[in-house]
């Protein structure tokens, strides 16, 4: 069994008195694709920010590669983040730089490599995502799918040990979605990465995930392999995985019964 790269223990976190995580524990295995899923508002993106040290837990620990993230000083956190790639939901490309310079940016900022070596590395990263021929295009000239692929090439620029994906499939057409799914799986296997995939797109995410964690109400509802999740007897998991309209998450917003509301309106 693979060693654990990320350990989360007794994680508590709130925003404006709203409890987002209430004693969460989870392990993310090195070399795996771990999917973190759940309905909107369950704290999936917040979890990535806690792992990356952008946020600090109210209580508990987030341990990445043996380091307690919230206890690191600025310089130590800076070094740890160099080992982390991030694919933002929007792609977050620098709009004033072309594709080549977007990917070269972290190499120029964080290494002393020669311009010729940087050029070779950028073109190789673009080749890996099928876009070496697009290196001179501006972000405004890219389709949504191409922008995500460029963003992935940039996330790979510093050869990180892990990549975090924040809703990578949102807004993609079927072809672009299929390309992204294949790229995430292929790059993880080829480069020996650890990938954390935050998404509520069940079918695409489950198709490539080694481990699946489903969150709800500040807690881990269920975790396990794809097969274990699909066999789960939890009504909540069944509703989420199969997209059922009613269940533990009710269709109707709680409140007075409709007949009572109609009677009041008639008075």
Under the banding of pLDDT at 50, 70 and 90, the label for residue 1 is very low
The per-residue pLDDT for 253 is 58
Q: Which of 13-22, 124-133, 221-230, 238-247 has the lowest mean pLDDT?
A: 238-247
Confidence at residue 246, expressed as pLDDT on a 0 to 100 scale: 59
Secondary structure (DSSP) of 92-148: ---TTS-HHHHHHHHHHHH----HHHHHHHHHHHHHHTT-GGGTT--GGGS-HHHHH
Give percent above pLDDT 90 in the chain: 36
Task: Of 17-21, 119-123, 177-181, 197-201, give the range with the top mean pLDDT.
Answer: 119-123
pLDDT digits (tens, 9 = 90+) for 219-249: 888 888 877 877 776 666 676 666 665 555 5
C-alpha–C-alpha distance, residues 127 and 10, integer Å = 42
Spans of all domains in the chain: 4-83+162-266, 97-159
What is the Cα–Cα distance from 87 to 150, expressed in whole angstroms? 10
Q: pLDDT category, 267, cuts 50, 70, 90?
A: low
Could you report the per-residue pLDDT of 141-166, keeping only the tens digit for each?
A: 988 888 888 998 999 888 899 999 98
Strands 67-68 and 33-37: unpaired
Q: Does 261 score more than 80 pLDDT?
A: no
User: In Å, what is the CA distance from 42 to each residue of 34, 207, 227, 266?
Assistant: 17, 22, 23, 39
Q: Which residues sit opposite 87 in a β-bridge? A: 165
Q: Are 136 and 163 in contact (CB under 8 A)?
A: no
Region 97-122 average pLDDT:
91
| Residue in this structure with the two tokens 């073109």, named with its chain if needed | 123
- Residue 266 has a pLDDT of 67
- The average pLDDT across 205-210 equals 88
Instruction: Evaluate if residue 169 carries a pLDDT over 60.
Output: yes
Distance between start and end Cα atoms, the chain: 67
Looking at residue 71, what is its pLDDT?
92
Confidence band, pLDDT 50/70/90 cuts, at residue 101: very high
Residue recorded with tokens 């999740």: 229
* Candidates 1.10.150.120, 3.90.1150.10, 3.40.228.10, 3.40.50.300; CATH matching 4-83+162-266: 3.40.50.300
């Amino acid at each position: 069994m693979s060693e654990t790269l990320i350990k989360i223990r007794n994680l508590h976190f709130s925003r404006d008195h709203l409890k987002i995580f209430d004693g969460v524990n989870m392990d993310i295995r090195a070399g795996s694709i771990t999917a973190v899923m759940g309905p909107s508002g369950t704290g999936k993106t917040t979890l990535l920010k806690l792992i990356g040290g952008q946020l600090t837990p109210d209580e508990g620990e987030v341990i990445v590669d043996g380091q307690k993230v919230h206890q690191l000083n600025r310089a130590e956190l800076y070094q740890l983040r160099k080992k982390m790639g991030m694919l933002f939901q929007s792609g977050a490309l620098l709009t004033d730089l072309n594709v080549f310079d977007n990917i070269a940016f972290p190499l120029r900022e964080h290494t002393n490599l020669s311009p010729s070596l940087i050029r070779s590395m950028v073109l190789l990263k673009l080749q890996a995502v099928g876009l070496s021929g697009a290196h001179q295009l501006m972000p405004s000239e890219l389709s949504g799918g191409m922008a995500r692929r460029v963003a992935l090439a940039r996330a790979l620029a510093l050869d990180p040990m892990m990549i975090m994906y924040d809703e990578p499939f949102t807004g993609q057409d079927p072809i672009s979605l299929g390309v992204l799914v294949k790229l995430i799986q292929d790059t993880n296997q080829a480069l020996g990465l650890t990938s954390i995939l935050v998404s509520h797109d069940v079918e695409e995410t489950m198709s490539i995930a080694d481990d699946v964690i489903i969150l709800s109400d500040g807690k881990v509802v269920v975790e396990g392999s794809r097969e274990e999740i699909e066999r789960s007897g939890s009504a909540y998991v069944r509703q989420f995985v199969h997209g059922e309209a009613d269940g533990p998450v009710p269709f109707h917003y709680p409140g007075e019964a409709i007949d009572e509301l109609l009677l009041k309106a008639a008075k």
